[in-house]
């Protein structure tokens, strides 16, 4: 009987491991697909890259060592700079090594937060951290505090510090109102370990990227591999020179341009307001509510041949922008953008959507500025 049970239980374990691996592969595949769409400017660019993959350069032991040197050393210098910037707090924290141990009670714990935005108020980041409020008694006098250390914030979650929980704090013998929850070098050590964890994380990501790079080099078509092997390798040129012999730097530039285009697309189209614009995409009439430039770009992603956007209420007699797909020219997708006032063309541009997609955003932005200027009173 047992001989039948054990194989079945082993099979169940094996199936569980296989399902876990498939789940991980699915997640990695989704992230890879999203990364590919971003890197190659959408589905068309991704399909083009699959049909005509870029040359992946050779990466050897010296190249890997150079990558580690060029990335980990600046990260280490950055961490050292952060620690030097916090030198005052570190000195204060080390000065708590002789503070007196005192019993305290947690009053309550929660999270404080801080929000910072860019100069335009569009991109905001909120940080929160745990704060533990406690009380203690010395010589029949009650004191309260909430300082974890002079160099960092409390570790853990609020559930770790319920109200009424007894804890130990450390009090300045010269001032009973000054206290910390972590004394002496221990508080500094926590921050050092956090910095080391950051370096380990960066090193792990870099190692994974280099391994994938090495695998990609061997898996690429034989013709591309031959080009990579025949390309000159000059380590003296630094990281940029390492990719000069391949299409890799072009792809990186396209990723940078795409990221900048995404940021610019969030710019207000009508100075903080919104407007409904009439459209005609591939001959189908419609309308879009436009608050920012992205609201114009999104409908255009559905365009197959041409699109027309009316920027005012004057219809065919007003200001119009017309887009027309030109198809593949010399291996790249091209689009023609034109701005009209009635039947008179006032601006026209031929745009390489694979290499200079941000030019389209610039064209739309300029057309909207022209429309806004036209609607202002004559005295403005």
DSSP string, 34-92: HHHHHHTTSHHHHHHHHHSPPPPPP--HHHHHHHHHHHHHHHHHHHHHHHHHTHHHHHH
**Residues 26 and 108 placed together within one structural domain of the fold:** no
Q: What is the pLDDT of residues 100-114, one digit of tens each?
A: 999 999 999 988 877
**Residues 266 and 335 placed together within one structural domain of the fold:** yes
What pLDDT is attached to residue 165? 93
Q: What is the pLDDT of residues 263-278, one digit of tens each?
A: 666 667 666 577 888 8
CA–centroid distance for 210 within its chain: 20
CA–centroid distance for 313 within its chain: 39
Task: Take residue 140 and report the two structure tokens written for it.
Answer: 């029949």
Instruction: Say how far apart CA 262 and CA 292 lie, in whole Å.
Output: 11
Query: Is 218 within the bounds of a domain?
Result: no
**Residues 177 and 277 placed together within one structural domain of the fold:** no
Least confident interval from 22-26, 57-61, 77-81, 359-363: 22-26
Please identify, among 182, 211, 236, the residue that sits at the C-terminal boundary of a domain. 182
What pLDDT is attached to residue 239? 46
Query: Is 221 within the bounds of a domain?
Result: no
**Residues 30 and 127 placed together within one structural domain of the fold:** no
Task: Provide the residue range defining the domain that includes 22.
Answer: 1-39
What pLDDT is attached to residue 257? 60
CA distances from 225 to 93, 160, 222, 233, 358 (A): 56, 55, 5, 14, 32
Least confident interval from 186-190, 210-214, 296-300: 296-300
Query: Is 354 within the bounds of a domain?
Result: yes
- The answer on pLDDT for 376 being more than 70 is no
What pLDDT is attached to residue 17? 67
pLDDT band of residue 4 (cuts 50, 70, 90) is: very low
**Residues 269 and 168 placed together within one structural domain of the fold:** no
Annotate 150-198 with three-state secondary structure. CCCCCCCCHHHCCCCCEEEEEEECCEEEEEECCCCHHHHHHHHHHHHHH
Instruction: Return the number of other C-beta atoms located less than 10 Å from residue 15's C-beta.
Output: 10
What pLDDT is attached to residue 170? 94
- Among residues 70, 85, 83, 86, which one has the least CA distance to residue 202? 70
Query: Could you give the number of structural domains in the chain?
Result: 3
* Sheet order of strands, 100-117 included: 141-145, 124-138, 100-117, 166-172, 175-180
pLDDT band of residue 245 (cuts 50, 70, 90) is: very low
For the residues 340-350, what does the mean pLDDT come to?
89
**Residues 105 and 30 placed together within one structural domain of the fold:** no
Q: What is the pTM of this model?
A: 0.41
Q: What is the pLDDT of residues 154-209, one digit of tens each?
A: 777 788 899 999 999 999 999 999 999 999 888 788 778 877 888 888 888 888 88
Q: What's the chain's average pLDDT?
A: 77
What pLDDT is attached to residue 86? 66
Query: Is 211 within the bounds of a domain?
Result: no
Query: Is 167 within the bounds of a domain?
Result: yes
Query: Is 314 within the bounds of a domain?
Result: yes
**Residues 278 and 369 placed together within one structural domain of the fold:** yes
For the residues 279-283, what does the mean pLDDT come to?
87
For the residues 16-33, what does the mean pLDDT come to?
71
Beta strands in the chain (DSSP E): 100-117, 124-138, 141-145, 166-172, 175-180, 275-281, 284-290, 306-310, 319-329, 332-341, 344-352
Is the CB of residue 98 less than 8 Å from the CB of residue 171? no
Query: Is 239 within the bounds of a domain?
Result: no
Task: Take residue 88 and report the two structure tokens written for it.
Answer: 């005052």
**Residues 31 and 122 placed together within one structural domain of the fold:** no
Please identify, among 182, 215, 236, the residue that sits at the C-terminal boundary of a domain. 182
- The answer on pLDDT for 36 being more than 70 is no
Instruction: Say how far apart CA 351 and CA 345 lie, in whole Å.
Output: 17
Instruction: Say how far apart CA 135 and CA 141 lie, in whole Å.
Output: 10
**Residues 21 and 113 placed together within one structural domain of the fold:** no
Query: Is 353 within the bounds of a domain?
Result: yes
């Amino acid at each position: 009987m047992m001989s039948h049970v054990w194989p079945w239980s082993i099979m169940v374990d094996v199936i569980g491991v296989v399902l876990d691996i498939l789940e991980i592969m699915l997640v990695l595949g989704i992230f890879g697909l999203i990364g590919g769409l971003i890197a190659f400017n959408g589905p068309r660019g991704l399909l083009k890259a699959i049909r005509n993959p870029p040359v992946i350069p050779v990466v050897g032991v010296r190249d890997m060592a150079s990558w580690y040197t060029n990335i980990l050393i600046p990260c280490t210098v950055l961490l050292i700079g952060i620690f030097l910037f916090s030198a005052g707090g570190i000195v204060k924290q080390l000065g708590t090594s002789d503070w007196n141990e005192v019993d305290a009670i947690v009053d309550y714990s929660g999270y404080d937060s801080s929000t910072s935005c860019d100069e335009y108020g569009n991109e905001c980041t909120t940080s929160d951290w745990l704060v533990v409020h406690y009380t203690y008694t010395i010589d029949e006098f009650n004191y309260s505090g909430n300082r974890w250390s002079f160099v960092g914030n409390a570790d853990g979650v609020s559930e770790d510090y319920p109200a009424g929980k007894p804890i130990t704090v450390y009090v300045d013998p010269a001032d009973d109102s000054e206290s910390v929850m972590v004394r002496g070098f221990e508080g500094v050590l926590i921050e050092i370990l956090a910095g080391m964890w950051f370096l380990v994380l960066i090193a792990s990501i870099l190692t994974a990227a280099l391994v994938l790079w090495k695998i990609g080099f061997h898996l690429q078509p034989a013709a591309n591999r031959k080009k990579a092997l025949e390309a000159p390798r000059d380590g003296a040129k630094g990281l940029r020179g390492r990719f000069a012999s391949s299409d890799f730097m072009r792809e990186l530039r396209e990723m940078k341009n795409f990221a900048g285009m995404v940021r610019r697309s969030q710019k207000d189209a009508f100075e903080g307001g919104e407007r409904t614009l009439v459209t005609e995409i591939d001959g189908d009439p419609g309308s879009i509510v436009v608050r920012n430039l992205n609201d114009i770009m999104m409908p255009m992603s559905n365009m197959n041949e041409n699109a027309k956007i009316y920027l005012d209420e004057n219809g065919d007699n007003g200001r119009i922008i017309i887009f027309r797909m030109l198809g593949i020219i010399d291996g790249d997708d091209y689009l023609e953008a034109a701005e009209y006032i009635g039947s008179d063309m006032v601006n026209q541009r031929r745009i390489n959507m694979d290499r200079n997609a941000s030019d389209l955003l610039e064209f739309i932005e300029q057309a909207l500025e022209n429309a806004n200027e036209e609607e202002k009173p004559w005295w403005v």
